[in-house]
């Protein structure tokens, strides 16, 4: 395979995407560049503050409003006005582009590919929420999104859930590549080896862990209520650790105070050193939307309890690795937490399976190789 000039278009440089970009940049089969924008002042989309080991270019960004979230936060789409010029200058063989959340840039990238007859890969999770009724403006956007999805050279999606969504929209299944969205499992395993010697887990305490952005749609109230039930029933031999920061952090702290919750630790945002909290815990719970933290929990050998997340839960969370709840309620979550609390052997079995599955079937190497397959496919086509 000749060296492929690959342009990646993404709204900002999220820290969890860096290993993927570094892997591409170090791959001799690619000459790559990432085009990204400025921090989004309206939501959590910020560029990670670091020196990157891959070629990138920050582009001026215009934020186009198109509505508001249920929480009142303004919804905007980033537009890179000089993206087309940058693509002309780089002349990529293939463009890998973020999907719906950066629609204007996807449209520009698609137009470039049509002009120069180059392949266009749509990178998206699909849709995980139930279908909504669209306004006239939103309906037009939906029509444009469908057009881009169906006319992309290939789709690189996060999960089997994503594939089912795209195939349901009429996309040829052969064009849909499922790279189950996971953290860099290789890097995390190396970090675990360095940290595990200094971890001192209290075997008399059952510790529940949440890691992620603290947002309303995470439904952390459900986790706190289920934790309180377990804590009260078993003489408070239970801890809850909540790792993360976000727009809903003050609200959830206030909720914990109102419910007179004890034994809850709010650590704030932790990226480097988060392995310690995984290794000292017994179970990971994701009560609302999210995703990557599931694979992080599994590589640390934790059972996972979750419901609808980002679609990857369908692939990762089975009866062998944890509990996938059709309906995440306080009672349902409490029942599963109590089951693990009372059955150490079951917990250990799920823990062992979690680590085995994420480091074999759904490793970061597997994720990257499937992306590479999509690039080979579009060039061959």
Domain boundaries, the chain: 4-182+363-380, 185-360
d(CA 29, CA 6): 10
Six token digits for residue 301: 């050998």
| H/E element, 366 | helix 364-380
Tell me, yes or no, if the two domains 4-182+363-380 and 185-360 fold the same way. Answer: yes
| Residue 52 binned pLDDT confidence (cut-offs 50, 70, 90) | very high
Q: Is the pLDDT of residue 133 over 60?
A: no
- pLDDT of 103 > 90? The answer is yes
Confidence of residue 69 (pLDDT cuts 50, 70, 90): low
Nearest to 170 by CA among 153, 147, 140: 147
What's the distance, Cα to Cα, between the start and end of the chain in Å? 14
What per-residue confidence (pLDDT) applies to 192?
A: 94
**1-18 pLDDT, tens digit each:** 589 999 999 999 999 999
Q: pLDDT exceeding 70 applies to what percent of the chain?
A: 95
Look at the block and give the residue holding tokens 């795209």: 166
In the predicted model, is pLDDT for residue 125 greater than 80?
A: yes
**Alpha-carbon 206 to chain mean position:** 27
Mean pLDDT score, 276-305? 95
* Phi, psi (degrees; rounded to nearest 5) at 161: -55, -45
> Using an 8 Å Cβ cutoff, are 270 and 296 in contact?
no
At CA 29, angle to CA 99 and CA 316, rounded to 5? 50
Place of tokens 């998206």: 124
| pTM for the structure as a whole | 0.91
Would you call 214 helix, strand, or coil by DSSP? Answer: coil
Average pLDDT (169-180) is: 96
Q: For domain 185-360, give the CATH superfamily.
A: Glycogen Phosphorylase B; (3.40.50.2000)
Helix (H) or strand (E) holding 177, with range, is: strand 176-178
Give the right CATH number for 4-182+363-380 from 1.10.357.10, 3.40.50.720, 3.40.50.2000, 1.10.10.10. Answer: 3.40.50.2000
**pLDDT score at 132:** 40
Nearest to 9 by CA among 71, 73, 99, 133: 99
Share of the chain above pLDDT 90, in %: 81
Q: Of 84, 66, 74, nearest to 9 (Cα)?
A: 84
Note whether 208 and 281 are within 8 A (CB): yes
Residue-level pLDDT at 137: 52
């Amino acid at each position: 395979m000749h060296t492929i000039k690959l342009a990646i278009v993404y709204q900002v440089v999220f820290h969890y995407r860096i290993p993927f970009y570094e892997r591409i940049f170090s791959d001799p089969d690619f000459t790559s560049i990432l085009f990204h924008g400025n921090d989004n002042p309206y939501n959590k989309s910020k560029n990670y503050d670091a020196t990157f080991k891959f070629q990138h270019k920050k582009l001026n960004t215009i934020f186009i409003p198109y509505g508001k979230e249920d929480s009142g936060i303004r919804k905007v789409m980033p537009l890179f006005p000089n993206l087309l010029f940058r693509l002309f200058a780089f002349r990529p063989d293939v463009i890998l582009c973020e999907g719906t959340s950066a629609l204007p840039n996807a449209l520009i990238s698609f137009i470039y590919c049509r002009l120069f007859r180059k392949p266009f890969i749509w990178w998206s999770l699909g849709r995980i929420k139930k279908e909504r009724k669209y306004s006239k403006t939103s309906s037009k956007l939906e029509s444009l999104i469908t057009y881009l999805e169906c006319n992309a050279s290939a789709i690189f999606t996060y999960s089997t859930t994503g594939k089912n969504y795209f195939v349901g929209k009429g996309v040829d299944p052969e064009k849909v590549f499922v790279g189950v969205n996971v953290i860099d499992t290789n890097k995390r395993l190396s970090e675990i080896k360095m940290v595990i010697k200094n971890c001192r887990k209290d075997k008399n305490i059952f510790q529940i862990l949440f890691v992620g952005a603290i947002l309303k749609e995470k439904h952390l109230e459900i986790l706190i209520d289920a934790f309180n039930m377990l804590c009260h029933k078993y003489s408070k031999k239970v801890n809850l650790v909540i790792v993360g920061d976000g727009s809903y952090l003050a609200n959830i702290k206030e909720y914990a105070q109102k419910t007179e919750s004890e034994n809850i630790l709010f650590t704030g945002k932790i990226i480097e050193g988060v392995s310690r909290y995984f290794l000292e815990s017994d179970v990971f719970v994701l009560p609302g939307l999210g995703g990557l933290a599931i694979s992080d929990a599994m590589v640390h050998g934790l059972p996972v309890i979750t419901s609808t997340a980002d679609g990857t839960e369908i692939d990762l969370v089975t009866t062998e690795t944890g509990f996938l709840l059709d309906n995440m309620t306080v009672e349902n979550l409490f029942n599963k937490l109590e089951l693990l609390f009372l059955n150490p052997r079951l917990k250990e079995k799920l823990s062992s399976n979690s680590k085995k599955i994420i480091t074999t079937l759904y490793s970061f190497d597997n994720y990257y190789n499937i992306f590479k397959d999509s690039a080979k496919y579009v060039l061959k086509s």
